[in-house]
Amino acid sequence: MFTMSSGEQPLVRSYLFLRKGVGILGVALPFVLIIGAIILDHHLELSYSLSAYYYSVMGSVFVGSLWAIGIFLICYQYDHLDNIVSNIAGICVIGVSLFPTTRDGVTATQQQEMIGKVHFLFATGFLLALAFMAVLFTRKNPDQANVTDTDKKLKRFRNKVYVICGIVMVA
């Protein structure tokens, strides 16, 4: 394992905290949108997609969360391929927030239909980029030469989780 100078440790902790925070944000977002809409709109009806919450009382939470996730992904730095894929994912998720899906049950204008198609392309790009990132996470870290057997087993388990997540995102 590599050693850090005392000045690097707060930066590493900060980075790991941000990474964990954006992960929690991504996992919690569907639950926050659904529960928030139920509580604030006073009805138990679910929207047909997460993007449809743009038009609900939770629209600002949806857009703000996507921007937070997008900015983090654009700022994420690891290696060249990871940077490219995370930049694509970040741009796409911000695009999802800028180009809303078409509204369910409302006749859309031609312009709204086009915006909805752009939204779909950004959403597809975001999910495909995330799926590819999950596969990238299965690579070995060359900085960790002296790894214990327990760490290797944990890495194999995490790799299986990453691959399953990638497959689910593509599906």
Tens-digit pLDDT string for the chain (171 aa): 445 555 568 888 888 888 889 889 999 999 999 999 999 998 888 888 999 999 999 999 999 999 999 999 999 888 889 899 999 999 999 999 999 999 988 899 999 999 999 999 999 999 999 999 888 878 766 555 566 777 778 888 888 888 888 888 888
Residue 18 CA, distance from chain mean position: 13
Q: What is the pTM of this model?
A: 0.82
CA 60-64-66 angle, 5° bins: 120
Nearest CA to 115 among 134, 132, 98? Answer: 98
User: Distance between CA atoms of 26 and 77, rounded to whole angstroms?
Assistant: 19
Helices 59-75, 8-41: inter-axial angle, 10-degree rounding: 160
Contact 169, 127 (CB under 8 A): yes
Nearest CA to 91 among 76, 118, 71, 121? Answer: 71
User: Distance between CA atoms of 3 and 100, rounded to whole angstroms?
Assistant: 46
State residue 143's pLDDT score: 58
Residue with tokens 């593509």: 170
